[in-house]
Amino acid sequence: MPIRNHMEKIIIIDFGSQVTKLIARRVRELGVFSEILTIKDIKKIKDYKQIKGIILSGGPSTVTKIEYSNIPKDIYFKKIPILGICYGLQLIAKEFQGSIGSFKKKREFGRAKLFQKKRSLLTKDLFNKKYKSVWMSHQDAVTKLPKGFKIVASTKESKLTIIEDQERKIYGVQFHPEVTHTENGNIIFKNFLFSICKIKKKWKINSEKNRLINDIKKIVKNDKVICALSGGVDSSVVALLINKAIKKNLICIMVDTGLMRKNEFKSSYNIFKKKYKLNVRLINASKLYFNKLRNIQDPEKKRKIIGNLFIKIFEKEAYKFKNIKFLAQGTLYPDIIESRSATGSITSKIKSHHNVGGLPKKMNLKLIEPLKEFFKDEVRILGKSLGLVNSIRNKHPFPGPGLAIRIIGKVTPQKTKILQDADHIFVSELVKHNLYNKIWQAYAGLLPMKTVGVMGDSRTYEYTCLLRAVISEDGMTADYFNFPKDFLDEISNKIVNGVPGINRVVYDITSKPPSTIELE
């Protein structure tokens, strides 16, 4: 269901593309509120007043089958502008008696050159040179122009790459303007929003702050809220928001697993306690974690043990407080989108993320998830307006199971200490060289094998430290960061000299896919 009907918006109907989220982000980056809906959601909409435009996403399905995912027909005739992307374009073509065929030998994947055939509101200011480079990912293509439509642009492989029915304000593009590989893709969105849908640029994440605080006040009233605070940006912003709304009635619990980065937990605790004066309880559970993880090598087992233990500890602590009605969580919009399937298919589980799926169910608490409409970048902006310190606001993502999934094989306090020291050097150097904020996520990992080295006149036989640094937009795909050689030289030197137990440093140069960002 649409989350709120409080302002003009663009809705995106999700047909299961991996990059649907990016469409919503592009729209929001242009100052317009957007929501992603499933076909099921859209069938429940009664009032379209606030919906100023509809974007149909791409997806893995094909309209050439007898049964294919489609929106209710009347939506095409509501006089609300529509933009179909990839599968969305093919749906439009099908609806208006075009033909769709499969490319067979000549599927289009990757970059393609887009040439203008006709002027259009959708491509205003796009063709400032002979062609634009766009990102394609399709097997089917529109082979016959649907009724009432005109060709706006073509590639060598597909003539009907952008089509329009100016009268009905229905547009379709075969490529993906939402991905960064498409040159100036945002111009397409800008034109669609402001020239075609004529929606106003009114939405700002900062102006949501007061509404969120008021909503929390209204919901919680004089009851108590409990919150697991990790010191990451999401839970920190949740805690500050709720604290602004209900002050002392917020109880924060920080569980120190011993698997966090060097000094990080203590310093976050001090910030929350002293700077923000939150009611926060610190639980030192590191011994318990190391005991439970003793001799465990399997990554999935590690994740399960850590997740279950966290719930147990949290529950035990929470029971010490009386009359708690609510549990606050830092669930983000991508968590919500990913947990409901657009197409009904169950996407394959690569790794079990322990914090997705929620905290104690047994406790029977009502959930408050104030960030569930927002992307991480938006949460960082919200954090700024709440006065969250930069060291937390700009922190790279950190996985729930912590360093346990960055120590390959058995996890011990000794190995954890070695890794914390190496990671601390790496991250501090990134900050010092102004690289930290250019990278999406960076960390050091500890590989289980020892190798021979030589230091001074002595032979060493120690662990290998793996460095990982990636650029990404949402963690779904990632590229390794291209460090200058001097930086790599310096970092290798500092780690080997500064961390007893490590005599070799390697840099991971795999992207995701085929690799993942974390090691386990």
Q: Residue 31 contacts by C-beta under 8 Å, 6 or more apart in sequence?
A: 201, 202, 203, 204
Does position 518 interact with ligand XMP (CB under 6 A)? The reply is yes
Q: Which two tokens stand for residue 288?
A: 């318990």
In the bound complex, what is the minimum distance in angstroms from residue 438's beta carbon to ligand XMP? Answer: 16
Question: Which region, judged by CB under 6 A, interacts with ligand XMP, from 105-113, 169-177, 273-281, 397-405?
Answer: 397-405
- Give, in order, the Cα–Cα distances in Å from 162 to each of 35, 69, 93, 116: 24, 21, 11, 9
Binding test (CB under 6 A) with ligand XMP, winner from 172, 370, 401, 402? 401
178 is catalytic: yes
- Closer CB to ligand XMP, 51 or 229, in the complex: 229
As beta bridge partners, residue 138 has 108
Does position 172 interact with ligand XMP (CB under 6 A)? The reply is no
Does position 299 interact with ligand XMP (CB under 6 A)? The reply is no
Q: How far apart are CA 33 and CA 51, in angstroms?
A: 10
Binding test (CB under 6 A) with ligand XMP, winner from 2, 60, 397, 453? 397
User: Which is the catalytic residue, given 35, 178, 208, 373?
Assistant: 178
Q: Residue 445 contacts by C-beta under 8 Å, 6 or more apart in sequence?
A: 406, 407, 408, 419, 465, 466, 467, 468, 519
Buried b (16+ CB within 10 A) or exposed e, 257-281: bbbbbbebbeebbebbbeebebbbb
Binding test (CB under 6 A) with ligand XMP, winner from 441, 442, 462, 502? 441
User: Which is the catalytic residue, given 86, 197, 227, 465?
Assistant: 86
Binding test (CB under 6 A) with ligand XMP, winner from 204, 266, 351, 376? 351
Question: Which region, judged by CB under 6 A, interacts with ligand XMP, from 21-29, 67-75, 449-457, 509-517?
Answer: 509-517
In the bound complex, what is the minimum distance in angstroms from residue 177's beta carbon to ligand XMP? Answer: 25
Q: Which two tokens stand for residue 184?
A: 């100036």
Q: What is the DSSP string of 130-144?
A: SEEEEEEEESEEEEE
In the bound complex, what is the minimum distance in angstroms from residue 360's beta carbon to ligand XMP? Answer: 17
176 is catalytic: yes
Residue 36: CB atoms within 10 Å: 21
Does position 399 interact with ligand XMP (CB under 6 A)? The reply is yes
- On whether the CB atoms of residues 268 and 392 are closer than 8 A, the answer is yes
In the bound complex, what is the minimum distance in angstroms from residue 437's beta carbon to ligand XMP? Answer: 16
Q: Can you give the three-state secondary structure of 370-431, one letter per residue?
A: CCCCCCHHHHHHHHHHCCCCHHHHCCCCCCCCHHHHCECCCCCHHHHHHHHHHHHHHHHHHH
In the bound complex, what is the minimum distance in angstroms from residue 337's beta carbon to ligand XMP? Answer: 15
Nearest of 55, 91, 71 to residue 189 by alpha carbon: 55
In the bound complex, what is the minimum distance in angstroms from residue 443's beta carbon to ligand XMP? Answer: 8
Question: Which region, judged by CB under 6 A, interacts with ligand XMP, from 215-223, 269-277, 279-287, 396-404?
Answer: 396-404
Applying CB under 6 A, the residues found at the interface with ligand XMP are 303, 350-351, 353-355, 397, 399-401, 441, 475, 512, 516-518
Q: Which residues are catalytic?
A: 86, 176, 178
